[in-house]
């Protein structure tokens, strides 16, 4: 067995020569990538950050963007309730955040990014955040980081029933349900939701003269969808899973505060429908496992804008009816094997075929991406471990350079649960199909963005009989060259070019704490991030923008979540501080060049009743308790203090 494996590894290494790789792939069993998720990985491989169960449970009737904003160092740029919500790690852009669902990328091949408002937390069992070396080890593309969402089969729970109903201000209603059966060998589970809101909140419009209180208009949305899962133990050591995630998102697009009196009675909306189907097979053996996954994703996006001449004749003046369809077929093969007590080898292969048909391209555009990866985790000493990883990607047959990732961790003291470590990696992000083929302006000659990251981290996990702490501190340096920016040209349309060189650096702190004191149980987590991110390219120096903080990346970001349980009662709180964000590259302190810092504070009071079967919970939430008037995106109004009621029944 070992001989076979080593032969395969050897052939895999040779496979970095493209032609040979193509010849070898069909006959080669590629072993798993470095495992970066789950308890096992945390012990043995790259460092990732898991959101605790408290956070996930607290936001189970919300979207992923809201959860990450409140419970992580990921910066969420939110255009308003129900509106677009994008995520960026460590001073990078939203396009450089890779989102994986059971190891399959959710990033749109067309746009390159993910709308986090369209991911219900209810559909997620495990949430891992990875950056630096860990992100590079997962896949290419996550120059900033990776948000990894997983569905975890939980066998032998019998009947599964969990229903949540929410109702709140601005005609917000949400219904979330999970129903299923979990046997010893089979799990059948359906999760479904429907949420909607009118979002007609009042705000002071400071952007239009004369200033006045106004009601938000055209900000309503209705989203619904379901996730169907089937998990079967097909043998003693094998498991087959199937997933089908289907969702329909309908949102009107409100005007910004300066444009509320625009004529033509504009009707502007965006509909997104997606269907994501996946089958996954796992085979375990002593010391290792093999995973094979195949997925087909299709997504339809419909943008519509219509204005009319006047209400009487209803004559159309403007009509934009843009429809984009994407199809993507993904396969993943990954395996790992523990060779001996100190060495574990992993390898993987992914193939992504993408096709985009849109009125914004001249023709149907396709792309095929193949990624091969090989890694090892070694623990030569009890207090020292390391992981090393190499990957190479082929896009339409053309090879990228080798992307290595390395992480070393050391436990220097016997009696102190302290780990110190470093990470180094190189990562690539290929341009989106929009960047390449948008008409006019798309640049088919774009090169991938190249990121180099170095990281120092310290983990401390003290605990006693009453409480346990988990503290992570890290310092990072990230250099992204060939950063893609859209630039104006003499042809009067904008063209993306590999022009910027962005240097991001900063410090991140994460603290989780849990303790019991007599009748009280307290659980809390807090995050703080300081991020400096600047364009240091020669062009930026000429344009005098070098050294200026990039737009919409706060230097300071912090949040805190806490829950205090007293018998059947509980109090939950979530606070988020977002520092000043530049909205242009001007250095001058003037109103349109930056957005002011703000603090959001949410408070919830709840009570649970244990029933003969199951548990009933009622919760009253006050959102934006301090009634902060703030803008997350310039001239996009946000609601003030508002309320929500939640009822939950779970078996």
Partner 1 sequence: MKCNKILLIFLLLGMASCKEEPADITPGDGLAVGKGFFVLNQGNFTLANASLSFYSYDSAKMSSYLFYKANGAPLGDVAQSMTLWNDLAFIVMNNSGLIYIVDAQTIKFKNKISGLQSPRYVCIINDHKAYVSDLQQPGLTIIDPTAQSITGQVNTGKTVENMVLTNNKVFAANWSAYYQHKPNNTLMVIDPVLDTVTDSVHLVKEPNSMVVDKNEMLWVLCSGGYLNEERPALFKINTSDNSIVNRYDFIDRLSSPTQLVINKNKDSLYYLNNGVYRLSIDDNTLPETPLIPQHAHVFYALEIDPGFNRVVVSDALNYVQDGFVYRYSPNGTLIDSLKSGIIPGQFIFN
Binding site for partner 1 (CB under 8 A): 204, 206-211, 256-259, 261-264, 307, 309, 317-318, 440, 487-488, 490-493, 513, 522, 524, 526, 542-545, 551, 560, 562, 573, 575, 577, 583-586, 588, 590-593, 596-601, 625-631, 634-635
Tokens of 530: 């300081």
Give whichever of 331 and 467 is closer to partner 1, judged by the CB atom: 467
Give whichever of 177 and 597 is closer to partner 1, judged by the CB atom: 597
Output the smallest distance, CB 560 to partner 1, in A. Answer: 5
Give whichever of 1 and 542 is closer to partner 1, judged by the CB atom: 542
Torsion over CA of 530, 639, 128 and 161, rounded to 10 degrees?
160
Give whichever of 184 and 466 is closer to partner 1, judged by the CB atom: 466
Output the smallest distance, CB 213 to partner 1, in A. Answer: 11
Give whichever of 345 and 595 is closer to partner 1, judged by the CB atom: 595
Instruction: Return the closest-CA partner of residue 355 out of 289, 429, 417, 296.
Output: 296
Counts of helices then strands in the chain (DSSP H, E) = 8, 34
Tokens of 469: 């702490």
Give whichever of 456 and 562 is closer to partner 1, judged by the CB atom: 562
Q: What is the CA radius of gyration of the chain?
A: 25
Query: Are 170 and 200 contacting, i.e. CB atoms less than 8 angstroms apart?
Result: yes
**For residue 625, what are the CA distances in angstroms to 68, 170, 645?**
19, 16, 15
- Which region holds residue 650: left if phi is over 0, alpha if psi is between -120 and 50, else beta? beta
Give whichever of 370 and 472 is closer to partner 1, judged by the CB atom: 472
Give whichever of 304 and 635 is closer to partner 1, judged by the CB atom: 635
Output the smallest distance, CB 591 to partner 1, in A. Answer: 6
Output the smallest distance, CB 577 to partner 1, in A. Answer: 6
Give whichever of 323 and 521 is closer to partner 1, judged by the CB atom: 521
Output the smallest distance, CB 53 to partner 1, in A. Answer: 18
- State how far the Cα of 341 lies from the Cα of 271, in Å rounded to an integer: 53
**For residue 615, what are the CA distances in angstroms to 38, 62, 323, 572, 648?**
28, 20, 45, 18, 8
Give whichever of 165 and 307 is closer to partner 1, judged by the CB atom: 307
SS3 604: strand
Output the smallest distance, CB 631 to partner 1, in A. Answer: 7
Tokens of 205: 């419009």
Output the smallest distance, CB 423 to partner 1, in A. Answer: 29
Give whichever of 130 and 308 is closer to partner 1, judged by the CB atom: 308
- State how far the Cα of 247 lies from the Cα of 324, in Å rounded to an integer: 16
Output the smallest distance, CB 546 to partner 1, in A. Answer: 12
SS3 565: strand
Within 8 A by CB and 6+ apart from 63, the residues are: 85, 116, 117, 118, 119, 120, 121
Tokens of 240: 């087959």
Q: Where are the alpha helices (DSSP H) in 110-224?
A: 132-138
Output the smallest distance, CB 434 to partner 1, in A. Answer: 17
Within 8 A by CB and 6+ apart from 72, the residues are: 49, 51, 129, 527, 559
Q: Is 460 exposed, middle or buried (0-12, 13-18, 19+ CB in 10 A)?
A: middle
**For residue 428, what are the CA distances in angstroms to 390, 415, 447?**
12, 40, 10
Phi, psi angles (nearest 5°) of residue 540? -65, -35
Output the smallest distance, CB 562 to partner 1, in A. Answer: 6
Tokens of 143: 């120059």
Q: Is 137 exposed, middle or buried (0-12, 13-18, 19+ CB in 10 A)?
A: buried
Output the smallest distance, CB 633 to partner 1, in A. Answer: 9
* β partners of residue 403: 391
Phi, psi angles (nearest 5°) of residue 172? -85, 130
Output the smallest distance, CB 584 to partner 1, in A. Answer: 6
Output the smallest distance, CB 169 to partner 1, in A. Answer: 19
Give whichever of 157 and 629 is closer to partner 1, judged by the CB atom: 629
Give whichever of 156 and 490 is closer to partner 1, judged by the CB atom: 490
């Amino acid at each position: 067995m070992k001989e076979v494996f080593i032969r395969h590894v050897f052939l895999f290494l040779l496979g970095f020569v493209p032609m040979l790789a193509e010849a070898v792939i069909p006959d080669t069993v590629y072993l798993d990538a470095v495992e970066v998720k789950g308890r096992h990985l945390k012990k043995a491989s790259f460092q990732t950050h898991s959101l605790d169960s408290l956070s996930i449970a607290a936001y189970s009737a919300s979207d992923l963007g809201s959860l990450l904003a409140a419970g992580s160092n990921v910066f969420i740029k939110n255009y308003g309730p129900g509106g677009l919500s994008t995520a960026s790690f460590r001073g990078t852009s939203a396009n450089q955040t890779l989102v994986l669902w059971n190891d399959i990328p959710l990033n749109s091949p067309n746009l390159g990014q993910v709308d986090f408002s369209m991911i219900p937390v209810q559909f997620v069992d495990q949430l891992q955040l990875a950056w630096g070396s860990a992100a590079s080890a997962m896949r290419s593309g996550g120059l900033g980081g990776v948000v990894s969402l997983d569905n975890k089969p939980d066998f032998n729970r019998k009947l599964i029933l969990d229903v949540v109903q929410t109702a709140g201000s601005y005609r917000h209603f949400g219904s979330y349900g999970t129903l299923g059966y979990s046997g010893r060998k089979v799990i059948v589970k359906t999760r479904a939701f429907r949420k909607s809101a009118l979002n007609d909140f009042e705000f002071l419009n400071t952007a239009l003269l004369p200033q006045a209180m106004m009601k938000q208009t055209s900000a309503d949305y209705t989203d619904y969808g379901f996730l169907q899962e089937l998990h079967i133990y097909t043998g003693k050591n094998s498991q087959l899973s199937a997933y089908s995630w289907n969702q329909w998102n309908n949102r009107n697009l409100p005007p910004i505060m300066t444009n509320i009196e625009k004529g033509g009675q504009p009707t502007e909306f965006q509909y997104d429908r997606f269907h994501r189907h996946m089958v996954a097979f796992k085979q375990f053996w002593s010391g290792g496992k093999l995973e094979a996954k195949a997925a087909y994703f299709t997504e339809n996006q419909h943008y519509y804008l219509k204005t009319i001449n006047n209400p009487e004749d209803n004559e159309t003046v403007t009509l934009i009816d843009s429809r984009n369809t994407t199809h993507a077929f993904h396969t993943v093969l990954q395996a790992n094997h523990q060779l001996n007590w100190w060495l574990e080898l992993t390898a993987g292969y992914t193939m992504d075929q993408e096709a985009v048909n849109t009125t914004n391209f001249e023709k149907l555009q396709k792309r095929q991406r193949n990624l091969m990866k090989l890694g090892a985790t070694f623990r030569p000493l009890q207090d020292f471990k390391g992981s090393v990883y190499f990957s190479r990607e082929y896009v339409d047959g053309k090879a990228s350079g080798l992307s290595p990732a390395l992480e070393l961790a050391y436990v220097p003291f016997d009696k102190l649960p302290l780990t110190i470590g470093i990470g180094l990696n190189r990562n690539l992000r290929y341009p989106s199909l929009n960047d390449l083929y948008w008409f006019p302006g798309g640049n088919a000659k774009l090169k991938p963005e190249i990121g180099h990251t170095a990281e120092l981290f310290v983990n401390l996990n003290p605990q006693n009989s009453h409480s346990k702490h988990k503290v992570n501190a890290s310092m990072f340096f990230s250099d992204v060259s060939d950063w893609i920016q859209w630039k104006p040209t003499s042809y009067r349309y904008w063209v993306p070019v590999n022009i910027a060189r962005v240097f991001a650096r900063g410090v991140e702190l994460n603290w989780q704490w849990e303790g019991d004191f007599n009748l009280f149980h307290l659980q809390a987590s807090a995050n703080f991030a300081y991020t400096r991110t600047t364009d240091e390219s020669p062009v930026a120096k000429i344009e005098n923008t070098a050294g200026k903080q990039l737009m919409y990346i706060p230097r300071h970001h912090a949040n805190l979540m806490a829950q205090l349980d007293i018998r059947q009662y509980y109090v939950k709180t979530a606070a988020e501080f977002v520092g000043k964000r530049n909205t242009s590259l001007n250095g001058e302190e003037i109103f349109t060049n930056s957005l002011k810092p703000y603090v959001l504070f949410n408070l919830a009071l709840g009570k649970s009743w244990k029933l003969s079967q199951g548990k009933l919970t009622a919760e009253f939430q006050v959102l934006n308790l301090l009634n902060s008037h703030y803008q997350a995106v310039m001239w996009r109004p946000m609601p003030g203090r508002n309320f929500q009621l939640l009822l939950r029944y779970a078996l």
